[in-house]
Amino acid sequence: MSETANRDIDYQKLEFDYHKSPDQSRAQPAHHPVVVVGAGPVGLTLAIDLAQRGQRVLLLDDDHRLSTGSRAICFAKRTLEIWDRVGVGQRMVDKGVSWNVGRVFFRDQEVYRFDLLPEPGHERPAFINLQQYYAEGYLAERAAELPNLEIRWKNKVTALTQDGDRVTLTVDTPDGPYEISASYVAACDGSRSPLRGLLGQESKGRIFRDRFLIADLQLAEPLFPNDATERWYWFDPPFHRGQSVLLHKQADHVWRIDFQLGWDADPDEERKPERILPRVQALLRQGFERDVPFTLAWASIYTFACLRMDRFRHGRVLFAGDSAHGVSPFGARGANSGVQDAENLAWKIDAVLRGRAPDALLDSYAGEREYAADENILNSTRATDFITPKSEVSRIFRDAVLGLAREYAFARSIVNSGRLSVPATLDGSVLNTADVDGFTTLLRPGAVAADAPLSREGRATWLLRELGPDFTLLVFGAAPAWAAELGVQVLAFDGNALHDAQGLAAQRYDAAPGTAYLIRPDHHIAARWRAPTAAAVRAALDHALAKA
């Protein structure tokens, strides 16, 4: 897969042309196996994944531009691994900013410093910081390489009906409306999701009474010696009393600052540069004890809510990303969970369209990702409650934690300015086959397969890179003779081509000679055995395809 470099493109200014499609002149609606609505990070990832699986994919977007300004910025390890599969992971990592050192301040003192030293033996870091427009730009360029993926810009879905066989969409364009039909529609059309509205559905939950200012700054000189990157989080600092402030870095030397403003702040006033500049100057003077020349590249005011749709599946329409669920920004669970939705959905739609699995497999998409959304909402709500105490007593406890954290390590574990986004372990999924043998619980069925450094014929490789687009039977030892007839990829540490050179795979998978894992196309573990039999593996495979 090509990972071409177009470093100088200003993705925020990029415009995509509308072209009239032959579908618009047909007497009968043209039929498409799968239509994805919304060309954001979720829709693009899903469309590329489906197209790489050989599906003919139509992606509709009501606009003709990518993301602008400051939106998603932290992309987690799991997202990068998924983007490796769609061919853009390396570009994201090359362009993105990595950091390990973070500092937490309370009032006028540094409370503690932490160093997120990455655990060795994983190809991808825990996360990178990268502007959303780069992520979308790289995905859009990858999409353009796939002949069976068509993107139609300025195509807005205005009506939707469905029966047992198909969905019919009315699509408005600069040349007027036309109709198409689809076997399945993926609604990746964002938090205000027009498709959700067309189905009469809502996303419900808790709205937080708080406002935040985002300011993106282009600094004229490095903030840290040697142009280092650190993440700083202030609770109740002298330059912004009673509120919190977050500073972190994105690509192109753009620093992003989130100022908590409180519910009573006037959003129209606060987004004016004459209000923002003194806030930034005060932060730089008091936080860094100097004046740093800067220009304001972007500013906006946001509020947030934790909410989700009751069900992510409505007949032949499947909701993914912000259309299905919304979280607060703390912990970077918005775009990251959306990309995981896409990953979960792509192989299932493909399997159903090929007749390899029954339509019921798509019910498991909803079940699994609703579960994951609840976990993300729980984590993000907890961070929000720490950052924005909702009562006097919660502020007393919050401040007590911060006051103790300087001196006592135990209190640092309670400080919560957003927990690292990690993928949900899909405990209780209908696709899992329960353990029958004794294993440690870490990589239990439902968990995402762990990476590990391997070597193949003397060349370094990674376990996740070796997993193909289909199910994989990973065998710690020689592959049983019957494995070749399963119709899935078999990866065996049999002493020949593939080696677990450092023993980390065996360690992470709690493997003994003969241990085998059945890994789904989206890298979640379906089942595992100490001594697999053909019948057991076949049954688990059928189960993971919702066939039995």
The residue among 111 and 143 lying less far from other proteins, judged by its C-beta, is: 111
Nearest CB to other proteins, comparing residues 393 and 481:
393
Q: Which of 30, 414, 478, 539 binds other proteins (CB under 8 A)?
A: 414
Task: Give me the least distance between CB of 444 and other proteins, in Å please.
Answer: 20
Choose between 165 and 407: whose C-beta lies nearer to other proteins.
407
Q: What b/e sequence results for 367-390 when a residue is b if at least 16 CB atoms lie within 10 Å of its CB, and e otherwise? A: bbbbbbbebbbebbbbbbbbbbee
Distance in Å, CB of 327 to other proteins, minimum? 17
In the stretch 361-390, what mask flags binding to other proteins with x, by CB under 8 A? Answer: -----------------------------x
Shortest Å, Cβ 424 to other proteins: 21
Binding letters toward other proteins, positions 127-156, x by CB under 8 A = ------------------------------
3-state secondary structure of 453: strand
- The total number of residues shown for the chain amounts to 548
Q: Which member of 14, 411, 501, 506 binds other proteins (CB under 8 A)?
A: 411
Q: Closest distance between other proteins and the C-beta of residue 304, in Å? A: 16
Q: What are the DSSP E strand ranges found in 20-84?
A: 30-37, 57-60, 74-76
CA distance 40 to 190: 8
| C-alpha closest to that of 216 among 99, 107, 335, 68 | 68
Of 509, 500, 491, the C-alpha closest to 455 is 500
- Phi, then psi, of 30 in degrees rounded to 5: -70, 145
Amino acid code (one letter) for 492: A
Phi–psi pair at 383, nearest 5 degrees: -65, -40
- For the bound state, the minimum distance from the C-beta of residue 372 to other proteins, rounded and expressed in Å, comes to 23
Least separation in angstroms between CB 399 and other proteins: 7
Q: Give the nearer residue to other proteins in terms of CB position, either 268 or 410.
A: 410
Nearer residue to other proteins within complex by CB, 19 or 390: 390
Instruction: Give me the residue label for tokens 């519910």.
Output: 263
Restricting to residues 204-223, which ones interact with other proteins according to CB under 8 A?
A: none
- The rounded distance, in Å, linking the Cα atoms of 416 and 418 is 5
Least distance from other proteins to the Cβ atom of residue 295, Å: 42
CB of 322 to other proteins, least distance (A): 24
Triad 334, 336, 338: Cα angle to 5°: 70
Inter-residue long-range contacts of 22-27, CB under 8 Å, 24+ positions, other chains counted: 23/178, 23/180, 24/173, 24/175, 24/176, 24/178, 26/178
Q: Is 305 in the site for other proteins (CB under 8 A)?
A: no
Q: Which is nearer to other proteins, 404 or 536 (CB)?
A: 404
Nearest approach in angstroms of CB 408 to other proteins is 8
Q: What are phi and psi of 245, to 5 degrees?
A: -140, 140
CB of 232 to other proteins, least distance (A): 24
- Identify the residue among 410, 438, 441, 458 touching other proteins (CB under 8 A): 410
Q: Report the site for other proteins in 4-33 (rule: CB under 8 A).
A: none
Please say whether the beta carbons of 311 and 208 come within 8 A: no
> 258 exposed, middle or buried (CB, 10 Å; 0-12, 13-18, 19+)?
buried
Of 161, 408, 507, 513, which lies in the binding site for other proteins, with binding defined by CB under 8 A?
408
- In angstroms, what is the minimal distance from the CB of 108 to other proteins? 17
Per-residue binding letters, 386-405, with other proteins (x by CB under 8 A): ----x--x--xx-xxx-xx-
How close are the terminal C-alpha atoms of the chain, in Å?
36
Residues 97 to 116 in contact with other proteins, rule: CB under 8 A: none
Nearer to other proteins, 397 or 482 (CB): 397
Contact by Cβ (8 Å): 519, 472: yes
If the CB atoms of residues 414 and 501 are measured against other proteins, the closer one turns out to be: 414
- 392 CB burial (10 A radius; 0-12, 13-18, 19+): exposed
CB of 204 to other proteins, least distance (A): 15
Hey, is 1 helix, strand or coil? coil
Task: Decide whether 206 or 311 has the Cβ nearer to other proteins.
Answer: 206
Identity of the residue, 224 or 408, whose beta carbon is nearer to other proteins in the bound complex: 408
- How many residues touch other proteins under the rule CB under 8 A: the total is 13
| Degrees, nearest 5: CA angle 443-520-352 | 150
CA distance linking residue 39 with residue 44, whole number of Å? 5
Q: Which stretch binds other proteins (CB under 8 A): 36-44, 343-351, 409-417, 500-508?
A: 409-417
| Chain positions contacting other proteins, by CB under 8 A | 390, 393, 396-397, 399-401, 403-404, 408, 410-411, 414
